[in-house]
Amino acid sequence: QVQLVESGGGMVQAGGSLRLSCAASGSILSIKSINHMGWYRQAPTKQRELVAVITSGGGTNYADSVKGRFTISRDNAKNTVYLQMVSLKPEDTAVYYCNVVTITEITGRNDYWGQGTQVTVSS
């Protein structure tokens, strides 16, 4: 099992910046089996969508809507993933969820989700 604690959401004006953090904890085996770490978001009346993901090797992928404005990074020593968001737009308003994927030979793939943190961008 992996537990995720998110922080860093809030309210900013358009053009502002925020940094989200998500710290993972759990058994040594669970932590060592973390593969992908990422961020998703869900706006009112919309489906949850991928924002950014980073692999254990540091490879990254971003939604087209955030490319050039958001940067995902991870600190493996702290088991933490970050999302630096700049030039925020009102359409970035959503609840942001941290996602961690573990992969083991015994249990296969397991997805874990944070509790969500609200990001509100005013125009």
> Residue 31 pLDDT more than 90?
no
The Cα–Cα gap between 104 and 110 comes to 9
Concatenating the DSSP letter of every residue in 28-73 gives HHHHHTEEEEEEEEE-TTS--EEEEEE-TTS-EEE-GGGTTTEEEE
Q: Residue 29's pLDDT is what?
A: 82
State which amino acid sits at residue 12.
V
Enter the tokens of residue 121: 């961008």
pLDDT in tens, 65-82: 999 999 999 999 999 999
State which amino acid sits at residue 57.
G
The Cα–Cα gap between 33 and 96 comes to 23
CB-based contact 96:117 (threshold 8 Å): yes
Instruction: Collapse the DSSP code of 120 into the 3-class scheme (helix H, G, I; strand E, B; otherwise coil) and give the result.
Output: strand
Q: What is the CA radius of gyration of the chain?
A: 14
The stretch 8-19 carries a mean pLDDT of: 97
**pLDDT higher for 120 or 27?**
120
The Cα–Cα gap between 74 and 54 comes to 8
The Cα–Cα gap between 81 and 47 comes to 23
